């Protein structure tokens, strides 16, 4: 299962729990680690992976690390939620982790600003590792906050368009769409109504659909979110209005909000074999690189293809870009074994063989430039589509914030209200959204 998988509710819970860190800043960011990395010690590593294949893959890397560092043993705790992680980082103590990974990339700003995770710059400098030359630039960017680096990327996720090749052939569609106007036409052509529901839906555009969130769409439009002073700029960025107008227009073209919502609530589990792309209930899906492996494991009776998600017509030259996210890795600010912990962080995040083997095993995108060029990297063409998306210079993640991902949830909530018709004045609604984001950030920071 993918490292970045999360629903709005999960992200909200993570943001709420990590907000507590603001009133209980822990650890030290002066990098005054005193422990001897060559001494015999045991590190505690907390991660969120839980599927057997994922757990086995990270365990293999830990075993390889221990072979290279026989003085360091690693106690691994799997399946850790961000809620548990945040509580432990706040509390510290002998049972707290030394090294942590999180799927919630949006919380980097909070992790760094509260010193919940240690500043990694002194460790990187001592090891002569330049993040800008080691990691994929876009991933290096979303793992720091306002110049402070408290995390590094541990694999990444890139989002693109999956499509049912059989459905395309039956509809006479010969290639995936590249612009949103082309996408709208293809989505309509692939949609087969059946009374008040659908025999097949071309695409589920609703903001509460699987992965069709405001944040994921925004990457295609190039929305900036914040101005130079850190104030919310959704109302003043013309791309925001363009996104919401396009999305609501597609909702209407495909049957309207109520009809789509009724269909959406009857779809199978996103992480199970009955995903609507697997069952043929939707013909196209915005999703990450992991979906290709999940579809293959589900043994579908048809072939799927993958391509970058379409871009606005006036940004056709940027076709190929997409939303990026991924797993982040850091050292607990309360850890008394930070030098030893750094050895583990350095190995997991920068050793080329470790990164490639882990990427291949869990079907995520490598986060280092060396791993991306490795001949050992999975060469499956569907997977490689997402490797290419990740390397597009305009692929991006939302900016970091002292308020975690709260500003993204505020934008998402407005999008849901607008598509449903509860908010009718787009300009006024975006100004209210900006005001709420600024208020929340002021309270958090």
How is the chain split into domains, by residue range? 8-156+325-385, 158-318
Mean pLDDT of 378-391: 97
- Which contacts (CB < 8 Å, 24+ apart) does range 83-88 have? 83/13, 83/14, 83/17, 84/46, 85/46, 85/48, 86/14, 86/17, 86/18, 86/20, 86/21, 86/116, 87/17, 87/20, 88/46, 88/332
pLDDT value, residue 156: 96
Tell me the CA end-to-end span of the chain in Å, nearest whole number. Answer: 34
**What is the C-alpha to C-alpha distance for residues 153 and 358, in angstroms, rounded to an integer?**
13
Strands 152-164 and 304-307: antiparallel
**What is the C-alpha to C-alpha distance for residues 76 and 66, in angstroms, rounded to an integer?**
12
Q: Which residue has the higher pLDDT, 3 or 205?
A: 205
Strands 41-46 and 99-102: parallel
pLDDT value, residue 181: 98
pLDDT value, residue 107: 86
> Is the pLDDT confidence value at 11 over 60?
no
**How confident is residue 225, by pLDDT bands cut at 50, 70 and 90?**
very high
DSSP, collapsed to helix, strand or coil, labels residue 307 as: strand
Tell me whether domains 8-156+325-385 and 158-318 share a fold: yes
**The CATH number of 8-156+325-385 is which of 3.40.50.720, 3.40.190.10, 3.40.50.300, 3.30.70.100?**
3.40.190.10
DSSP, collapsed to helix, strand or coil, labels residue 282 as: strand
**The CATH number of 158-318 is which of 3.40.190.10, 3.40.50.740, 3.40.50.20, 1.10.490.130?**
3.40.190.10
DSSP, collapsed to helix, strand or coil, labels residue 158 as: strand
Mean pLDDT of 110-114: 89
DSSP string for residues in 319-374: TT--BEEEEEEEEBTT-S-HHHHHHHHHHHHH-HHHHHHHHHHHT-B--BHHHHT-
pTM of structure: 0.91
φ/ψ of 170, rounded to 5, equals: -65, -30
**How confident is residue 9, by pLDDT bands cut at 50, 70 and 90?**
very low
**What is the C-alpha to C-alpha distance for residues 329 and 348, in angstroms, rounded to an integer?**
9
Going by C-beta distance under 8 Å and a sequence separation of 6 or more, which residues neighbour residue 314? none
**What is the C-alpha to C-alpha distance for residues 440 and 435, in angstroms, rounded to an integer?**
9
Least confident range from 79-88, 298-307, 380-389: namely 79-88
pLDDT value, residue 404: 82
Mean pLDDT of 86-100: 84
Mean pLDDT of 17-23: 45
**How confident is residue 278, by pLDDT bands cut at 50, 70 and 90?**
very high
Cβ 164 vs Cβ 306: under 8 Å: no
The residue whose two tokens read 């986060």 is 367
**How confident is residue 198, by pLDDT bands cut at 50, 70 and 90?**
very high
Structure tokens at 232: 């919310």
> Is the pLDDT confidence value at 14 over 60?
no
Mean pLDDT of 329-344: 96
């Amino acid at each position: 299962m993918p490292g970045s998988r999360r629903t709005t509710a999960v992200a909200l819970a993570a943001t709420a729990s990590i907000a507590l860190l603001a009133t209980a800043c822990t650890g030290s960011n002066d990098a005054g680690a005193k422990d001897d990395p060559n001494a015999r010690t045991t590190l505690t590593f907390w991660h969120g992976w839980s599927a057997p294949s994922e757990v086995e893959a990270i365990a293999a890397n830990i075993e390889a690390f221990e072979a290279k560092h026989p003085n360091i043993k690693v106690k691994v705790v799997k399946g850790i939620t961000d809620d548990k992680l945040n509580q432990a980082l706040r509390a510290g103590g002998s049972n707290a982790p030394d090294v942590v990974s999180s799927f919630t990339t949006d919380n980097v700003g909070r992790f760094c600003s509260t010193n919940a995770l240690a500043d990694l710059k002194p460790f990187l400098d001592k090891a002569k590792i330049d993040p800008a030359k080691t990691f994929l630039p876009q991933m290096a960017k979303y793992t720091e906050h306002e110049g402070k680096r408290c995390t590094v990327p541990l694999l990444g996720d890139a989002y693109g368009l999956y499509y049912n090749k059989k459905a395309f052939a039956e509809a006479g569609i010969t290639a995936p769409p590249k612009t949103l106007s082309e996408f709208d036409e293809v989505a309509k052509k692939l949609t087969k109504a059946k009374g008040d529901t659908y025999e097949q839906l071309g695409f589920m555009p609703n903001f509460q659909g699987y992965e069709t969130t405001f944040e994921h769409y925004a990457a295609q439009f190039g929305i900036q979110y914040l101005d130079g002073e850190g104030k919310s700029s959704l109302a003043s960025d013309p791309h925001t209005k363009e996104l919401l107008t396009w999305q609501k227009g597609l909702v209407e073209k495909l049957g309207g909000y109520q009809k789509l919502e009724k269909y959406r609530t009857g779809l199978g589990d996103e992480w199970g074999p009955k995903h609507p792309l697997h069952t043929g209930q939707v013909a196209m899906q915005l999703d990450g690189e992991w979906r290709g492996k999940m579809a293959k494991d589900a043994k579908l009776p048809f072939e799927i293809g993958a391509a970058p998600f379409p871009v606005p017509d006036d940004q056709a030259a940027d076709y190929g870009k997409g939303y990026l996210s991924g797993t982040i890795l850091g050292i607990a600010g309360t850890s008394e074994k930070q030098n030893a912990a750094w050895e583990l962080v350095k190995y997991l995040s920068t050793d080329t063989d470790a990164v490639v083997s882990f990427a291949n095993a869990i079907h995520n995108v490598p986060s280092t430039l060396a791993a991306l060029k490795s001949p050992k990297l999975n060469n499956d063409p569907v997977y490689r589509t997402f490797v290419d998306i990740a390397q597009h210079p305009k692929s991006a993640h939302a900016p970091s914030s002292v308020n975690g991902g709260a500003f993204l949830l505020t934008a998402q909530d407005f999008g849901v209200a607008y598509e449903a018709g509860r908010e009718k004045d787009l300009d006024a609604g975006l100004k209210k959204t900006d005001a709420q984001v600024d208020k929340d950030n002021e309270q958090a920071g």
